[in-house]
Structure 1
Amino acid sequence: MQKINLINKYKIKSVSIENHKSIEKLCKECSDYYILHNGKIPSKEDTDEICTALPPNKSYEDKFVLGIYKFDNELVGIVDIVKDFPTIGEWMLGLMLIKPEERGNRLGKIVHEALVGWAIDLGATSFRIGAIEDNYKGINFWTTLGYTKVKEVNMDFTEKSHIVNVMTLKVQ
């Protein structure tokens, strides 16, 4: 992926396991998400998993781990997205994590709009996300962007079990 310059002078660009220290710092700053989701603060394994975890029958060529950078090159967010999963044309947005002090200023919406445009150019026709039912702010955010709930699934995480709302958005 080439760099995407956003309208707010932030940018999106690829990151990898080599960026572990900055990813780990971001995850710790977003420990509210991890406590809600996993029941504990993020571990090194949680951080590594952002770059390494793959869904069934997918390769690293299908996975994009993207950093959201402030104009001073500070990593303020991360996105994990897999193309053509679970079906061709549907892209799974596995994670969009933004530092707490960067939330609420439209950054998430700006990033999402840029990702949709980029993904459409690569053949995306829809996006899919999973939002845990307890993440009221997250569900509200995704609903505001036009995502609709298509089903619920029960999932076990590190130290918690959740009902996960599977939500989709048609982009073409």
Structure 2
Amino acid sequence: MQNINLIDGYKIKSIYIEDKKVVEKLCGKCSDYYMLHDGVLPSKDEVDEIFTALPPNKDYEDKFVLGIYKFNNELVGIVDIVRDFPTVGEWMLGLMLIEPEERGSGLGKITHQALAKWAINLGAKYFRIGTIEDNHKGINFWSTLGYTKIKEVNMDFKAKAHIVNVMILKLCNQL
């Protein structure tokens, strides 16, 4: 993936498992998300899973782990996307995590718009996400972007069980 330039010197670029120390630091800053989602702080194994976890019948050619960087090359966010899952043309946003100091600034929306354009150019027709029902801010964020709930799924996480809202966005409206 080529770098995507955002506003004010922010950029999106590929990030690799060799960079996991900075990802660990970011995940630590985002402990509020992990406590809400999993009920425990993120472990080193969980950070590794950002880079290694794949859904059924997918390989690493279909997985993109992307960093959101400030003008000074500081990692302030991470996005995990799987191409053509669960169906061709539908891309799963497995994780979009932005450090608390950057939230509410519009960075998430700007990042999403740039990723939508990039994915459309690679054949994406839809983005799909799963948001736990207890994550009211997350549901509001995704709904504001145009995502609609298509179903609910019960899932067990590290120390919690949740109802997950599966939401979808048709990308042709994002250009």
State the TM-score, normalizing by the size of structure 2.
Answer: 0.98
1:140 aligns with 2:143: no
Identity %: 75
Any idea what the Cα deviations from partners look like across 1:134-170, whole Å, max 9, x if unmatched?
0000000000000000000000000100000000000
What is the CA distance between 1:130 and its match in structure 2? 0.1
Any idea what the Cα deviations from partners look like across 1:7-31, whole Å, max 9, x if unmatched?
2320000001100100000000000
Structure 1: any 5+ residue segments left out of the alignment?
A: none
| Corresponding residue for residue 108 of structure 1 | 108
Any idea what the Cα deviations from partners look like across 1:75-126, whole Å, max 9, x if unmatched?
0000000000000000000000000000000000000000000000000000
1:49 aligns with 2:49: yes
Counterpart-to-counterpart distance in 2, 1:107 and 1:45: 27
Counterpart-to-counterpart distance in 1, 2:8 and 2:109: 11
Runs of 4 or more, structure 1, over 2 Å off, are none
| Corresponding residue for residue 4 of structure 2 | 4
Counterpart-to-counterpart distance in 2, 1:123 and 1:117: 10
Counterpart-to-counterpart distance in 1, 2:73 and 2:166: 33
| Corresponding residue for residue 94 of structure 1 | 94
SS in 2 for 1:8: helix
Counterpart-to-counterpart distance in 2, 1:8 and 1:157: 37
What is the CA distance between 1:3 and its match in structure 2? 0.4
| Corresponding residue for residue 153 of structure 1 | 153
| Corresponding residue for residue 129 of structure 1 | 129
Give the letter for the 2:112 counterpart. Answer: H
Give the letter for the 1:122 counterpart. Answer: L
Counterpart-to-counterpart distance in 1, 2:25 and 2:2: 24
Residue-pair matches, total = 172
| Corresponding residue for residue 69 of structure 2 | 69
Structure 2: any 5+ residue segments left out of the alignment?
A: none
Give the letter for the 1:26 counterpart. Answer: L
| Corresponding residue for residue 34 of structure 2 | 34
| Corresponding residue for residue 79 of structure 1 | 79
State the TM-score, normalizing by the size of structure 1.
Answer: 0.99
Counterpart-to-counterpart distance in 2, 1:66 and 1:10: 13
Give the letter for the 1:2 counterpart. Answer: Q
Give the letter for the 2:168 counterpart. Answer: T
Give the letter for the 2:106 counterpart. Answer: R
